[in-house]
Structure 1
Amino acid sequence: MNQNYSTRPLRGAVSTRLRAALPFLLASAALSAPALAFAAAPDAAAAPDAAAGADAEPLGEIVVTATKRETNLQQTPISISVLSAQTLRDRHVQSLLDLADGAVPGLRVATFEARQSALTIGIRGIVPLDANQPAREQGVGIYIDGVYLGRQHGLNAALFDIERVEVLKGPQGTLFGRNTEGGALSLVSRGPSGRFEGRVTGGIGNYGSHNTELHLDLPEVHGFSVKLDGVIQHQDATTKNPLEGATGWNYYDRKGIRAAVRWKPVDGITNDFSFDYSRDSNSPFYSQLLNVNPNGCVAGPQAAAPKCVLPGTQYTTLTGTVKPTLPGVVVEGDKRMTVADIGVPQQPSVDRTHGFTNNLKWSIAPQIELRSITAWRGVNVGQWDNSGGAHRVPVVAPGCATTACNFSRYSLANLNQTQFSQEFQAVGTISRFDYVAGLYYFNEHVRDDAATPNSNAITGYVTPGQTSGYQYVILDPCRGSGGFGSQTECRSTDRASRVRSRSYAVYGQVTWNATDAIHLTAGGRYTHDKKQGELLMSRNIDYALRPDIAAANGYRPLDASWNRFNPMVTLAYDVSNDVHVYAKYATGYRAGGASSRTSNYQAFNPEDVRSYEVGMKTDFWGHRGRFNVAGYIMDRDDSQVDISSIQTTATGNFNNLVTINAPGTTKIRGVEADLTLRPVDGLTLSASYAYTYTKIPLVPITVNAGGVSYTTLQRFYIVFTPRNAASGSIDYELPMPMVSDGAKLRFHIDGNYAQATQTFDQFATKADSSFIANARLALADINVGRGDTRLTASVWVRNLFDRAYVYRRDPSNSLPGAPTTSATTASVNNILGDYGNFNAPRTFGGEISLRF
């Protein structure tokens, strides 16, 4: 059951800023969220309708660990959504990417264009556009069993036996630390039980999909309990590649194993050790050409093409020629292509993740428990992305010769990351005080490189629109792209870098339960971050061998450190046993870094956020209804934004991606609401809504070219953050005693909506709005033998109505490049059109699961 709730009452003094914010937040909660009106009706009608639900079981208690201790979700003063194991099964969630449909409206998940395994994850408008760079951090912390994951690479590996997913909203800088300014996504695995039991699941579906799971618990022996998990997930491509033997798009093949050992040598001591390994072989979603020259770009005065303007520029003249599309290229902006128009070399990208975690808990006395969380983790990535074909630059012109006939950018990259973390915690209660104190250390090493050769060429291309006489050829994989190729030993390295990051922190949080109803929490975390990085290569120039070129490019290694203190204050009041309200002030920060996509390794500073939040959590109708609402104001300083620009180097000009800090304060405002009802026994209705308003102040951008310089104010946007998002679900369970004792028929359907939003922070262009429905029907818990052996047979469907929408729209290829030779002149030579990626088509299948 998807339930989105704040936790226990707030503890702490309410600042002047927060008191000033209360009217806005409460007004927003009362007026701006349509879900509130929906929630009010059942409450108002509780008395007359009580008899109708007299036989319904109350909603169960949900346990969360957001405060580093187990607490009731409804009494924890934090806005949280929880996805249980049953919810994940009902939605057929196999990996985190499956949550991109909007199961939690305030949680936004999107895959990186180049491969499925790198995910962009955002909460409350804190969403990094490109956190794939080794020296850049994500703004939402991802945790597995309390261990922070330093990179977003490999996040889409197969999920093991997950007990629940906790989505903590708003800054979590006190207890969870840096890079959690938007919130945290915490995955909690099911631990060893010490009993012999298990579950085997097998399933098949369309697009050649199949999945197998084995979860086995072994009996406790001499204080040791062992649990083993194995997962296999496979799906063939949903967009076929016409090139014989080449991989299509939206293909995946995931395999993973996990072993956990729980040791209880004496009462009060529990030590959990686990090892996991995953291999994710996948290909990206196909990048389609959605239109051709949509802005009407043409050589001549820029005023003649008023829409043909690159943000942040003020050129007056356009030069060059907008070229026609290559023969056979399909332009399709309304539906996903099932077969690509041009075959290209494509092989799966491979992500390998592994980890060792040791979690020790020692309950010394009722007042104190000491904990140690030690973890080694790593990820290795080999990226092969040729999803664009002729739909992306470079653009080939009729009458081309030699390398000018080459196209299809093959994006190749390698990344190796290792991390070690150690955390010590003391958790307990003394009299009326609940406390958490901790020490934290994190050490990360990352190294990456990237190359972008062309893989294809056209011969015999003489005139626009010709239908014969031309031929597409595959370039030699070693020397065919201007003397370079895609093979590892033949690449021209665009960039290569290495980074070491270290973080030290001390934190504490105390809750004073002043009365049984009033709870005051205050906490803080001091963090020292240090980051050292080097740009090893840029545009195939080894900076160690050519320090003169590195110096001429203005290159400086990254050697920076930052200190932050992040406080949190919460005041919570239990109005009754069923109504809890809170007010909260919290801060968070995301560390700075440097962009390896620039020739000078341009550095950028951290960003900081302040959050003011009020919330209410309620149970009503005899605990057959729950309604939670939270309103918040967040102010973010020095927002990290990305711009594409031209850098002048010692060897020429090139287009690069620069990360800068936007001056001023970014405003983020929002309301979140969740409603759960159980009107009759077996029927559960859920609805969630998130409203998010964002605005980044205008950013001054300076252009220098041809001895001319000017500065213009540019608007930036927060990506993958819809203004309105909502989800709802219906779950019905019917006993089936005629089948067997304890058997049930379960039905689930959910619908998820998100308004259109930007996918690039420097372009106003939006992707499409979306509505995705999923469903599952299961005959569950059929007694098939002695004891408690139970069988469940189910059928499922994702994207029930086969809706197609562009979740990522890139307008950069439909606008002129940044001025290079003159600040007042830009070229239209490489204009093609917008291109984008469609969501996955309808998938469906059946599963059989045996629990013993």
Structure 2
Amino acid sequence: MFRKIIMPFSGARSLLPLALGYSLITGAQADGLALEEILVTAEKRESSLQDTPISLLAFSNERLERFGITDLADVAGLAPNVTITPFPNSRSSLVVFMRGVGNNDSQTTQDPAVGVYIDGVYVARSVGLSSDVADLERIEVLRGPQGTLYGRNTTGGAINLITAKPSDEFGFSQKVGAGNRGFWQSLTKIESGKIGPVAGKLSYLKSGHDGWVENTGEGGNFGEERKEAGRVALRWDVSDSITVDYAYDFSEIEGPQHYYQKTVTLDPVLSTLFQLDSPASEGRQSKASWWRKADPSRTEISGHSLTVTWDTAIGQLKSITGYRELEESITQDYGAGDKFFEANVDIEQDQFSQEIQLVGDAGESWRYVAGLYYFEEESYEAEFNRGIGLVPGSYEPNEDRQIASEAEASAVYGQVTWSPEALAHRLDVTLGGRYTVDKRAATKDSSIYFSNGEQSGSDEWSNFNPSLTLDYAWTDQLSTFAKVVTAYKAGGYNVRSTEEGFQPPFDEENMTSYELGIKSSWLDNRMTLNAAVFHAEYEDLQTQQITDNSTIFLTDVYNVGEAEIDGFEMDLMAVLARGLTLQISYGYTDADFIEYLDQRETVASPIPGQNMANPDFGKNVADRTEMPYAPEHNYTVGLEYQRPLSGGNIQGGAMLTASVDYAWTDERYGTAFNDDMEGFKMDDYGIVNARLALSDIAVGEGDLEIAVWGRNLDDEEYKVHAISLGLYRSAIFGEPRSYGLDLKLSF
């Protein structure tokens, strides 16, 4: 069954309508008013996006290159019901939530709830997710649990980063860009073309920019960074039925962290007593300093992948082997200019994975996917923190810890789709299941907070995740689907815990989601309207609880209870006139805890660093909680206009493209439960972006593109992360207005 129905996408950060997986086609149809079909591999096989019964967004190669989307952080805001923000310790780590489900911590022993994959290889750690990928071809965002085909740690959803494969033809392109605050970028791509049975591709990306908070002290500006990324890809056509793909990639980031500025002083008397003198400001500061030099942080990531594809009589057999490693050294100061609290963290991690897939068909009525999966990783993490002591004016070590950990997972999965001939293959009934076994071991050594010295533990979890999907094509332009899907996130150990919180380990969490969706195309494919409504039941949630805001480096993780999530997503795209496209996307999430058991035995006393008995211990405090990173409403509106300047055809001659978009996000919280919830609140905000480009300019044998762009054009001040630190609240603000010019020459 193949239905050519095109699904509109959602956008926010870059130029929305153009950053989507759509483009106008005038050469394909006489009136030039149609939307292009997109192919995806979300279900492990290539299919039309509209034939895939998933709330799925896809961002195509042309749009990724055009708007400089080189990492996952660039996708922030491009999809409704998806939030991507930096983690406070490290800007290379991303906090990713979908439909109110995610993980707002970054540890080597605690897994994310949204799975990220590069060419089918699972990326276990959130550290480095903002690193550049030098040559992305497509990004697919799968919203909702994906436990059957993607497995553990996809209770929120999955994101596929798909890189460009080598071409059979020689090619070369060079892009350079410059902008305000010292922004510059260079992207080089070289295609060898096919030499015998082998083709290769080399991509190299380098960029940099100044920070938007000027450092009036020692060191670079806050948020300043230099990035470098490269990728080598080789494709060997062994025979007509066997293909081997190998790739090596690396990425590096260097520069001072973002600046946490003091927004509110909670207790002026104690702040004065402990000599915290830096002023608080609810508005974004343009100048600031740490009490000492702002040392740069560094992140280095690399990986190898080997994919062997064999077309057999029973289907396509694929082997995906991956190895990745990362190193990061972080220096972050939360003192807002005062000697209050700073963190110094070093992380090392390496992982190996092996997956075997079989994807095939049995006539027109049956399709199947089956697989075996194995994963293992080793991690090392060291942290040294300093903060205020009980004696006013003192600043002393308050935690050091070293963590060594190992994890191992194995799974078997399968999915079969029946499309009965009696209904003209318009109905698809898909049944799937996955069985997973997880093992984890961790050792923590802290000489300051752990009086017993070293603590260690190991445990094992297993889970079976079934799924059922019904998909019916009422016409070639209208289809609906209904699905029940499950997923789970593995248990683990909290290495940021208090002495009592390390053992026992926290348990797995589970998600069951019920979803109804519609995908439709109207007016000869001049308008597309897609929507989904969902209800999710969330059990045994893993949440972090801070016992004392003045010691935020200590958190305990508990399986606190249950939550229910209801929501709605709608995407509309319409061709209003020749070359003029309107896009509207909207997401709604109503996420609430039903049960949240306060498991803190002690809470902070009025004196920083001191605790007292918790009167709410063991009680259900759901009425005082918020599902983190779950804005109730978010929407985007965008307009794109394309006009050929020569040739009389929208695909021939030079092309002028103009676009503008507006994206709005509701208020949200950065934690589930805290005695100072307002300290973790981020207000609603809206962003305006625009771009003007002249492309397909003939230069000899090549094509030139010139583009000017602007982001956050009204210079909106908005918080991307906020925390409470006992005596005051602190926050990072988003990037101010930025603008620049790009030039790209391709042969």
Q: Could you state the TM-score of these two structures normalised by the residue count of structure 1?
A: 0.78
Amino acid at match of 1:443: E
Change (3 A) 1:387 1:597: closer
**Cα separation, partners in 2 of 1:646 and 1:726, compared to 1, 3 Å:** closer
Please name the residue that 1:161 is paired with.
135
Kindly indicate whether the alpha-carbon contact (under 8 Å) linking 1:115 and 1:283 is maintained by their aligned counterparts in 2: no
In the other structure, the counterpart of 1:851 is 746
- Give the Cα–Cα distance (whole angstroms) in 2 for the partners of residues 4 and 661 of structure 1: 38
* 2:642 corresponds to 1:733: yes
2:724 is equivalent to residue 811 of structure 1: yes
The Cα of 1:708 is off from its aligned counterpart by: 8.7
Conserved? CA contact 2:358–2:371, under 8 Å: yes
- Does the C-alpha gap of structure 1 residues 5 and 848 become closer, same or farther in structure 2, counting only changes over 3 Å? closer
3-state SS in 2 of match to 1:98: helix
Deviation at 1:706, TM superposition (A): 7.0
Structure 1 Cα separation of the partners of residues 271 and 558 of structure 2: 31
Q: Partners of 1:655 and 1:220 in 2: how far apart?
A: 53
Q: Does 1:380 align with 2:344?
A: no
Residue correspondence of structure 1 range 70-149 to structure 2 within 5 A = 70-89=46-65, 91-100=67-76, 102-130=77-105, 132-149=106-123
- Which range is displaced more, 338-347 or 613-622? 338-347
In 1, Cα distance between equivalents of 2:74 and 2:458: 38
Conserved 8 A contact 1:91-1:775: no
Q: Please tell me whether the aligned partners of residues 115 and 282 of structure 1 are also in contact (alpha carbons under 8 angstroms).
A: no
How far off its partner does 1:750 sit? 1.8
Q: Residue deviations 1:663-698, cap 9 Å, x none?
A: 2x2101110110111222322221111100111123
Shift of 1:290: 1.0
Report the residue type matching 2:663 in the other structure.
Answer: N
Q: Which residue of 2 aligns with 1:836?
A: 731
1:359 alignment partner in structure 2: 307
The structure-2 alpha-carbon separation of the partners of 1:709 and 1:620, relative to structure 1 and needing over 3 Å to count, comes to closer
Q: Is the 8 A contact 2:271 2:277 kept in 1?
A: no
- What corresponds to 1:760 in structure 2? 671
Read off the aligned partner of 2:584 and give its amino acid letter: A
Is 2:604 aligned against 1:671? Answer: no
Judge conservation of contact 1:329–1:342 (CA < 8 Å) in 2: no
CA distance in 1, matches of 2:580, 2:61: 18
CA RMSD of aligned residues (A): 2.6
Partner-residue secondary structure (3-state), 2:239: coil
Is 1:410 the counterpart of 2:342? The answer is: yes
1:172 is aligned, of 123, 131, 146, to 146
Distance 1:178 1:756, change over 3 A: same
Flag the 1:481–1:321 CA change in 2: closer, same or farther, 3 A.
closer
Q: Secondary structure at the match of 2:381?
A: strand
| Residue 455 to residue 90, structure 1, CA distance change in 2 (3 Å) | farther
1:701 counterpart SS class: coil
Aligned to 1:627: 529
Report the alpha carbon displacement of residue 171 of structure 1 after superposing the two structures with TM: 0.6
Deviations along 1:587-629, one digit per CA (max 9) or x if unpaired, are: 0000111111122423211100001001000011101111110
Gaps of 5+ in 1: 7-52, 299-319, 392-406, 462-479, 485-491, 542-548, 648-652, 814-830
1:255 deviation in Å? Answer: 0.2
Any residues of structure 2 matched to 1:778-797 within 5 Å, and which? Answer: 778-786=693-701, 789-797=702-710
Conserved 8 A contact 1:518-1:573 = yes
State whether residues 276 and 340 of structure 2, in contact with CA within 8 Å, keep that contact through their aligned partners in structure 1: no
- SS of the equivalent of 1:747 reads strand
When structure 1 is superposed on structure 2, of 170-179 and 102-111 the one drifting more is: 102-111
Distance 1:141 1:232 in 2: 27
Letter in structure 1 aligned against 2:95: T
Q: Any residues of structure 2 matched to 1:277-356 within 5 Å, and which?
A: 277-293=250-266, 321=270, 323=272, 329-334=278-283, 336-340=284-288, 344-356=292-304
| Counterpart-to-counterpart distance in 2, 1:790 and 1:455 | 60
Specify the alignment match of 1:389 in structure 2. 336
> Which amino acid is 2:437 matched to?
H
What secondary structure does 1:323 align onto? helix
**1:213 and 1:231 in contact (8 A); partners too:** yes
Q: How far 1:536 moved relative to its partner?
A: 2.5
Mapped contact 1:167–1:184 kept (Cα < 8 A): yes
Give the conservation status (yes or no) of the 8 Å contact 2:116–2:158. yes
Change (3 A) 1:134 1:634: same
Residues 1:60 and 1:413: Cα distance change in structure 2 (over 3 Å): same
1:783 is aligned with what amino acid?
A
Residue 227 and residue 91 in structure 1: after superposition, are their counterparts in 2 closer, same or farther (change >3 A)? Answer: closer
Give the deviation of 1:578 after TM superposition. 0.7
3-state SS, counterpart of residue 32 of structure 2: coil
Instruction: Return the offset for 1:268.
Output: 1.3
Q: How many residues align?
A: 696
Counterpart of 1:507 (choices 406, 413, 419) is: 413
Letter in 2 for 1:67: E
Contact 1:112 1:120 in 2 (8 A): yes
Q: Which residue of 1 aligns with 2:605?
A: none
Matched, 1:57 2:33: yes
Indicate how the Cα distance of structure 1 residues 672 and 4 shifts in structure 2: closer, same or farther if over 3 A, else same. Answer: farther
2:556 to 618, 641, 658: 658
1:231 is matched with which residue: 205, 227, 231? 205
Q: CA shift at 1:271, angstroms?
A: 0.8
- Supply the AA of the counterpart residue of 2:438: D
The answer on whether the counterparts of 2:600 and 2:614 sit within 8 Å (CA) in structure 1 is: no
Paired with 2:449 and 2:546, the residues of 1 have a C-alpha distance of 20
8 Å CA contact 2:186–2:206 kept in 1: the answer is yes
Equivalent residue, structure 1, for 2:21: none
Please give the alpha-carbon distance, in whole angstroms, between the structure 2 residues aligned to 1:207 and 1:455.
35
Q: What amino acid is the match of 1:674?
A: D
Structure 1 residue 140 displacement after superposition: 0.2
8 Å CA contact 1:203–1:211 kept in 2: the answer is yes
Q: What is the alpha-carbon distance in structure 1 between the residues aligned to residue 686 and residue 235 of structure 2?
A: 43
- How far has the Cα of 1:86 moved from its partner? 3.3
Please give the alpha-carbon distance, in whole angstroms, between the structure 1 residues aligned to 2:684 and 2:600. 34
What is the aligned partner in structure 2 of residue 577 from structure 1?
476
User: What SS class does the counterpart of residue 193 from structure 2 fall into?
Assistant: coil
| C-alpha distance in structure 2 between counterparts of 1:707 and 1:125, whole Å | 31
Deviation track 1:105-148 (CA, whole Å, cap 9, x = no partner) reads 22110001122100011111112111x11110100000111110
Using the alignment, how far apart are the partners of 1:225 and 1:618 within structure 2?
Answer: 39
Aligned to 2:485: 586
The alignment partner of 1:593 has SS state of coil
Cα distance in 2 for partners of 1:709, 1:734 equals 67
Q: Secondary structure at the match of 2:62?
A: helix
Letter in 1 for 2:560: A
Tell me the distance in 1 between the aligned counterparts of 2:612 and 2:335: 33
Over 3 Å counting, the alpha-carbon distance change for 1:754 and 1:265 in structure 2 is same
Residues in 2 aligned to 1:265 and 1:240: alpha-carbon distance in whole angstroms:
55
User: Taking structure 1 as reference, are residues 440 and 843 closer, same or farther at Cα in structure 2, changes over 3 Å only?
Assistant: same
What fraction of aligned residue pairs are identical, expressed as a percent?
31
Q: Distance in 2 between matches of 1:226 and 1:259?
A: 7
Given residue 723 of structure 1, which amino acid in structure 2 is its aligned partner?
A: E
- The alpha carbon displacement at 1:4 in A equals 5.8
State the SS of the aligned residue for 2:300.
strand
- The match for 2:687 is 772
Q: Are the aligned partners of 1:673 and 1:690 in contact in 2 as well (CA < 8 Å)?
A: yes
* Uncovered stretches (5+) of structure 2, i.e. residues with no partner: 1-5, 10-28, 603-610
Counterpart in 1 of 2:25?
Answer: none
CA contact (8 A) 2:546 2:552 kept: no
Whether the 8 Å contact between 1:256 and 1:279 is mirrored in structure 2 is yes
Structure 2 CA distance, aligned partners of 1:655 and 1:76?
A: 43
Give the alignment's TM-score, normalised by structure 2.
0.89
Q: 2:628 matched to 1:719? A: yes
Corresponding position: 1:200 with 2:174: yes
Structure 2 counterpart of 1:274, which letter? A
Tell me the distance in 2 between the aligned counterparts of 1:710 and 1:578. 55
Shift of 1:646: 6.1
Counterpart for residue 238 of structure 2 = 265
